[in-house]
Amino acid sequence: MSTTHEAGWAHAPGALRGPAWLSPPQDPNALVPLLWSSTAHKRDGDLVVGGVAVADLVAEHNTPAYVLDEDDFRARARAFRDGFAGYDVYYAAKAFISVAVARWVVEEGLHLDVCSNGELTVALRAEVDPARIEYHGNNKTHPELRRAVAVGVGRVVVDSFVEIERLAQISAELDTTQGVMIRVTPGVEAHTHEYIATAHEDQKFGFSITSGDALEAVRRVHDAPGLELLGLHCHIGSQIFDSSGFEIAAKRVLRLHARVADELGVTMPEMDLGGGFGIAYTTQDDPSDPARLASEMTAIVEHECRGLGIAVPRLSIEPGRAIVGPSVCTVYTVGTVKPVTLDGGAVRTYVSVDGGMSDNIRTALYDADYSCTIAARASQAPPVLARVVGKHCEAGDIVVRDEFLPGDIAPGDLLAVPGTGAYCRSMASNYNHALRPPVIAVRDGRARILVRRETEDDLLATDVGV
C-alpha cells in the first residue's frame, strides 16, 4: 500500500491524516469497548457476538446482515427501567422494531412509543398491552386515530388542532375516553444535526409555547368530552449529550404545566420528556449512563417544581437509539479495495462492501460518523486510512467516512460496523433494488433470525407489471 511506511502510516509521503479525532489504533485487531455491544469481543481475530463467531453466522446467513446482541439490548432496556425508576420508560419503536423486539421490551418492563400504523401493527401482533402504548405523529389520519382509539392505546400525543377535533369526534363515536398528551415545542435549539433537532420553533412538530398555541391546545383537550388530558410532552431532538437542552425545555414545559393549574384549575398528572439520549458512534462521543441521566433530569424537574410550588408530575421518557443503537453491528463482505490518489498525491483507500446507503442512510443523510473492524481474521499489516463505501450508484454512498483498517484489507474480508441498531434497518430502503438485510439475534451461542433477508420475490411482489 502506498500509505504504509516502516515508521508507521503517518510518515509515508502523502499519507492522509483523517479527522483530528481519529488516531491510528495501537492494536488494529482490538475493539473499542464503548462502541460495541457488551458481549462483543475478538477471539484470535474472529469477532464474536452473543457467543457466536460472526464468520460462522455469515457462513450460514450471508452478508450484509444486522447482528443484534439480545442480552445487550435487554440489559440496556433494564438499565433505563432501573435508572429511571419511578418514570415510565417508552421504547421508541421508530429506532427499530420487530415482533420479537416488542416482546423483549415488554418483558423488560418498558412501554412502547409508536408513531405509525405499521409500528402499531407490529406492537399488536406482539400482543403488547395497548394501554402501554403511546401513539405519536404530526399527521395521523382519521382511520389511524380511529384504530388507535378502538384498540385502546393508553395515550395519543396530539400535535395539531385538527387532530384534537378528529380525536374528540372519534372518542364520541366509539363512546370511550382517550388519554391525551399534548406535544409542545419549548423553543430549544438542541446541539445536534438540524434534521434531528425537533424543539425549535421553525419545524413541523408540536404546539408552540411562546405563541400561546400550546395553552390553547390544553384548553381544547380539557374541554373535549371523551378526551382525558394527561399532560404535556416534549422531545427536543436526537443524539444529544448535553443536559442543558433538557434543562431549558423542562423549565419551559413545567412553567406551562403550572400555568395550566393556575388558569384552568387543572393539575395534569403526567409529563413526557421525550427521547434523544446520545450513544457513542466513535471515540468522539461520550454518552452518560441512564442512572446519571435520570438523576440529572430528576434534579432539574424537582428544582423547577419547588420553585413553581407544584407537585412533580409522573414523568416519562422515550429512548430509542440509546437502547437498540449499540446492540447491533452490521456485517458486510468487502468486494473491492481501490487506492485513489488525491490532489497532492495523498492516497485514500476506498473499501467497497456489499451494502451501503440502502442499509445505513445515516452517513449520507446526517454526516454521521461510524467505525468498523475486520471481523474474521487478525492482521499485523500497518493500518491505512480507509473509506468504507457501499455498492449503490451514488458518490455519497458512504458507510464509514474515515477508519484505519489493516493495510492488507482485501476482497472477501468481513467488515463489521458497530452502533447500527437505531435508524438503520428502520430507515433501510430498496434503492437500486437492494434486498434489505436480515436482523439476526444472537444470544448464548445461538443465532435466531428476527427479520429475514428480502428476496427478489419480495421486490417483485408489488410490481403489478410482472
**Whether the Cβ atoms of residue 24 and residue 8 lie closer than 8 Å to each other:** yes
Residue with smaller CB distance to ligand LLP, 106 or 317: 317
Residue with smaller CB distance to ligand LLP, 2 or 138: 138
By CB under 6 A, residue 252 contacts ligand LLP? no
Residue with smaller CB distance to ligand LLP, 365 or 449: 365
* Binding residue (CB under 6 A) for ligand LLP from 36, 364, 423, 450: 423
How many residues sit close enough to ligand LLP to count as binding (CB under 6 A)? 24
* Binding residue (CB under 6 A) for ligand LLP from 178, 239, 352, 420: 239
Radius of gyration of the chain, Cα coordinates, nearest whole angstrom: 24
Q: How far is the CB of 8 from ligand LLP (least distance, A)?
A: 35
Site string for ligand LLP, 73-112 (x = CB under 6 A): -------------------x-xx-----------------
* Binding residue (CB under 6 A) for ligand LLP from 238, 360, 373, 420: 238
Residue with smaller CB distance to ligand LLP, 246 or 404: 246
Q: Which of 78, 157, 139 is nearest to 319 (CA)?
A: 78
State how far Cα 415 lies from the chain centre. 22
Which residue in this structure is represented by grid cell 432501573?
82
Site string for ligand LLP, 296-335 (x = CB under 6 A): ----------------------xxxxx-------------
What secondary structure letter does DSSP report for 399? E
Interacting stretch for ligand LLP, rule CB under 6 A, among 60-68, 70-78, 234-242, 249-257? 234-242
By CB under 6 A, residue 235 contacts ligand LLP? yes
Amino acid letter for position 117: N
Cell of 390: 457501499
Active site residues: 393
Q: How far is the CB of 258 from ligand LLP (least distance, A)?
A: 23
* Binding residue (CB under 6 A) for ligand LLP from 28, 179, 206, 275: 275
Tell which phi-psi region holds residue 199, choosing left (phi > 0), alpha (psi between -120 and 50) or beta. Answer: alpha
Three-state SS at 7:
coil
Q: How far is the CB of 458 from ligand LLP (least distance, A)?
A: 23
Rounded Cα gap, residues 107 and 96, in angstroms: 17
Rounded Cα gap, residues 439 and 359, in angstroms: 11
Cell of 445: 451461542
* Long-range residue pairs from 286-291, CB within 8 A, at least 24 positions apart, any chain: 286/241, 287/241, 287/322, 288/241, 289/79, 289/83, 290/79, 290/80, 290/82, 290/83, 290/84, 290/319, 290/322, 291/79, 291/82, 291/83
* Binding residue (CB under 6 A) for ligand LLP from 137, 179, 231, 274: 274
Interacting stretch for ligand LLP, rule CB under 6 A, among 103-111, 120-128, 269-277, 374-382? 269-277
By CB under 6 A, residue 52 contacts ligand LLP? no
Residue with smaller CB distance to ligand LLP, 9 or 277: 277
Q: Which of 245, 227, 275 is nearest to 110 (CA)?
A: 275
Residue with smaller CB distance to ligand LLP, 235 or 443: 235
**What percent of the chain is helix, strand and coil (3-state, nearest 5)?**
30, 25, 45
Residue with smaller CB distance to ligand LLP, 16 or 93: 93
Longest dimension (CA), the chain: 78
Q: Which of 35, 19, 423, 426 is nearest to 238 (CA)?
A: 423
Q: How far is the CB of 421 from ligand LLP (least distance, A)?
A: 10
Query: Which residues of this protein are in contact with ligand LLP, per CB under 6 A?
Result: 92, 94-95, 113, 136, 196, 198, 235, 238-239, 274-277, 318-322, 362, 366, 422-423, 427
